[in-house]
Structure 1
């Protein structure tokens, strides 16, 4: 796997939300359960999982059980708060009318997954409504993979400082020195 520049930004989480709005990648172990990623790795509480992640799609399939849904390299994960209307109720995790979507729901992978662990890979993440506001900060603290050109969308007036691969750097110098096509890991300072 190629190496990525690591960029740590000292700013409020909302300053970096423009990086999250179009989707981003994360590095995760193949076969990791969504419960492990969201609850253990990112530290999201059960309350946040129930509200901000009430609707979960993995590779286009609605997910009910976060423990049995497994990440694979190249997968796409969409998280959203509860969506309105009949469609929203139907797609919500543990919906009383979830049976109406049984043909498209993610199959239980806990016992089916006998493939060897392929190591670490990237997963594309999309956050909508409450998930952006409530889970976005945890993803930023964990580190997200984005194209360096997307850093131009961050308002420099709200950046208190930055580090590139552990070395302090001015935000303007950072932006000038990076190849805009390069993928970088961006995280907020703890």
Structure 2
């Protein structure tokens, strides 16, 4: 199922929170974290070096984004600086990385580079800066999560909803999505200018 939602610019903050829930994206896999960030997610090298301070790959903090390999189906969390002592220890190449030695991601190789799926979770500034761009490009999300987002949205946070090209009211879309509970659906969210 393909869902397309057009929202007013004022609703960006509401829809950005989807970045924290996990967005499945078609991506290059069996390549480095940096490769996925640049080639598949559209981050520039400067942004990666200056803003993406924390990377988790399948629950493990990553220090070297050039040697950590992303397999298909991986879950990658991205954040700028995280708060507190634990946040400092989890940063890439932290001087306190030894405190997390047992959980740090180690380099792996999983075969030839190819297309696959990666689940991306975005936090803090990364979520603010990039969730809407990723949603506009199209992602896969769990139908129940999207049903909850539409159901909880105020009338001014949802514009036009289309399911497989057919215009739906918010209530109709929620009912349709609840019937697909547990399935991944393709979602595109675009902003319309007022």
Contact 1:159-1:171 at 8 Å conserved across structures: no
2:120 maps to what in 1? 125
1:7 maps to what in 2? 3
Mapping 1:110-149, distance limit 5 Å: 113=109, 115-116=111-112, 120-149=115-144
RMSD: 2.7
Contact 1:76-1:125 at 8 Å conserved across structures: yes
Matches of 2:83 and 2:30, distance apart in 1: 31
2:67 maps to what in 1? 68
Instruction: Summarize the Cα distance change of 1:135–1:159 in structure 2 as closer, same or farther, 3 Å threshold.
Output: same
1:169 maps to what in 2? 167
Task: Please say if 1:27 is aligned against 2:26.
Answer: yes
SS at match of 1:130: helix
Structure 1 stretches of 4+ with a deviation exceeding 4 A read none
Contact 1:34-1:71 at 8 Å conserved across structures: yes
SS at match of 1:135: helix
Q: TM-score, normalised on structure 1?
A: 0.76
Instruction: Summarize the Cα distance change of 1:139–1:67 in structure 2 as closer, same or farther, 3 Å threshold.
Output: farther
Deviation (angstroms), 1:94: 2.5
SS at match of 2:48: helix
Relative to its length, the structure with more strand (as a share) is 2
User: How many equivalent pairs are there?
Assistant: 181
SS at match of 1:16: helix
1:189 maps to what in 2? 190
Structure 2 residues without counterparts, runs of 5 or longer: none
Instruction: Summarize the Cα distance change of 1:74–1:14 in structure 2 as closer, same or farther, 3 Å threshold.
Output: same
Deviation (angstroms), 1:31: 0.8
Instruction: Summarize the Cα distance change of 1:137–1:45 in structure 2 as closer, same or farther, 3 Å threshold.
Output: farther
Relative to its length, the structure with more helix (as a share) is 2
